[in-house]
Structure 1
Amino acid sequence: MQLYTRSAGTGLPVVLLHAFPLSSAMWLAQREGLAGACRVITPDLRGFGGSRLGDDEPSLDLMADDVARLLDDEGIDKAVVGGLSMGGYVTMAFCRRHPDRLMGVILADTKAGPDPPAARANRERIAQAVLSDGSEVLVSDVLPGLIGQTTKERRAMVFGRVKGLVQSAPPGAVAWAQRAMAARPDSFDTLGALKAPLLVVVGEEDELSPPADAEAMAGAVPESRLEIIPKAGHLSAVEQPEAFNAAVTAFVGSLLGGARR
């Protein structure tokens, strides 16, 4: 599977994997703001943006293997790999399947635990609804949880941009990704075995993956740091890009400092 990819900058490669049901377009502020600190690589996960979905059964492991092939195509042996929300789930699958390719890990507004039965059932409901009725269910049921209260009240342009990305999500990719996420395993053992440094980022207003989930992930990894971003919800990188970029820049700087020692 060939992922459609955008990149910017030079230096340490940092792969950022987008949230559901968005595309790599959500990382625009990161491609611009982090280009001076690292080489930012932002692929569209299969089915989203410019990437083909294919005929495989839904699986986060397949998405993680897509990222490994992307590194091969780019001639990259090791990288910082990170993601937000669904991108975080794919990142944890990458940690399980390709641990030797990690220089560092970034988990933003995501969680390590599996879906409880009710959440799995809701994912299947949305998958079926989007296949039959299009993006209406995404706007009514998914979009409200993606954005924090401050953004809803004060950042109309950000809200409008996110709504546009949600509405443009291909129905087949949405259903495929929902089923892949519903089947994901518990990843706390994966984090406990992690040999690379971890950065955990979370918006303080994130109700889907709240700060308590972020604290639990950070607590599972000895070499970790936690950044809570004020006045941001589930899409912290979109809602507060300057604060998000500052956290990533500091993390990348710490990795480069360790490599020089």
Structure 2
Amino acid sequence: MQANIKQLNRQDYQLSYSVYGKGTPVVLLHGYGEDSQIWLNQIAHLSAHCLLIVPDLPGSGKSSITAKGLDEWLPNMSIDSLAQSINQLLIAENVSACILLGHSMGGYIGLAFAELYPSKLLGLGLVHSTAFADNNEKKIVRQKSIQFIAENGGSAFFKTSMPNLFGKKFKENQAHIIEQLINQSKNFESSILIGYTRAMMNRPDRSTVLGSANFPILFIAGPEDIAAPLKDVQEQATLPNKSYLTILDGVGHMGMLEAPHEMNLHLTNFIQLV
């Protein structure tokens, strides 16, 4: 389906996004070190079932941060401020309420959005994501990542870390796809990646958002996911009033690529349920 490519211009950033189809508004939020292209396996399928809005987050893909934003917005960037950028996008599109489906950091942004604008959500999907805050051990890892990126750049960081996000079978059989993602990471400025990392490290626990939600929540998890461990997702899936948990066998953190057909099926079913 042909995309309607748009851009939202704000003082701090230019937000690039694509719009497909018609019907219930659904926003796909990519994760850390990714852009909207991570959803390519889902876009063609989902756009037949909804009005699909797929942005690049500020500083990712075709979305840039202005000179003013680099001076003032980026140093204070938070998961909340990224959620506010998505709210600005919905206002620009005259969307009063939507389903948000977020992968990893995109899920963190979805949870922040749910806390800030609960009346604007029809449903929330946490795709390999978690409501838990970073524990002390994870914060130490984030700090080391910040130092490594500052000294060596994002591409060197992802060359080491990206393969760990995939399940064993995918790593063995689809190494070229992982290599493509690593090559794409060269497009990221180190300052942007550091800003994202710091925002993730400083985000609060949002388990209470799950418990108080008056909209359905979808959890998609992988047994081989080291970033959003299955046991954490299973625990969180007991909190919402309306909860749907899907476990993708043999999958790590990247089910959009590792099990695209199953991912498409479960996302479509959730959209139709909502």
The match for 2:242 among 218, 223, 238 is 223
Whether 2:56 is the aligned partner of 1:37: answer no
- C-alpha distance after superposition, 1:113-163 (max 9, x if no partner): 111122112212222322332124423442122211111011233223322
Residues 20 and 51, structure 2, Cα contact 8 Å, conserved in 1: yes
- The range that moved more, 122-131 or 107-116, is 122-131
User: Unaligned 5+ residue runs, structure 1?
Assistant: 256-261
SS in 1 for 2:64: coil
Whether 2:79 is the aligned partner of 1:67: answer no
Q: Give the aligned partner of residue 52 of structure 1.
A: 64
The match for 1:211 among 213, 223, 230 is 230
- The range that moved more, 102-111 or 142-151, is 142-151
Which TM-score applies when normalising by structure 1? 0.93
Q: Give the aligned partner of residue 235 of structure 1.
A: 254
Which contiguous aligned blocks of 4+ residues in structure 1 show a shift greater than 4 angstroms?
Answer: none
- C-alpha distance after superposition, 1:150-204 (max 9, x if no partner): 1101123322332233333221210000000000001101111111111111123
- C-alpha distance after superposition, 1:7-45 (max 9, x if no partner): 222211111111111111101111112111112211111
Residues 145 and 208, structure 1, Cα contact 8 Å, conserved in 2: no
Q: Give the aligned partner of residue 258 of structure 1.
A: none
Paired residues in the alignment total 255
Residues 21 and 174, structure 1, Cα contact 8 Å, conserved in 2: yes
Whether 2:273 is the aligned partner of 1:254: answer yes
Which TM-score applies when normalising by structure 2? 0.88
SS in 1 for 2:15: coil
Change (3 A) 1:201 1:16: same
Residues 17 and 82, structure 1, Cα contact 8 Å, conserved in 2: yes
Whether 2:139 is the aligned partner of 1:120: answer yes
Residues 155 and 183, structure 2, Cα contact 8 Å, conserved in 1: no
- Rounded Cα–Cα distance in structure 1 between residues aligned with 2:229 and 2:205: 17
- The range that moved more, 157-166 or 20-29, is 157-166
Q: Give the aligned partner of residue 139 of structure 1.
A: 158
- The range that moved more, 203-212 or 18-27, is 203-212
Give the counterpart letter for 2:171 in structure 1: K
Whether 2:167 is the aligned partner of 1:155: answer no
Give the counterpart letter for 1:231 in structure 2: G
The match for 1:27 among 14, 34, 39 is 39
Residues 5 and 43, structure 1, Cα contact 8 Å, conserved in 2: yes
Residues 151 and 159, structure 1, Cα contact 8 Å, conserved in 2: no
- Among the aligned pairs, what percent are the same residue? 31
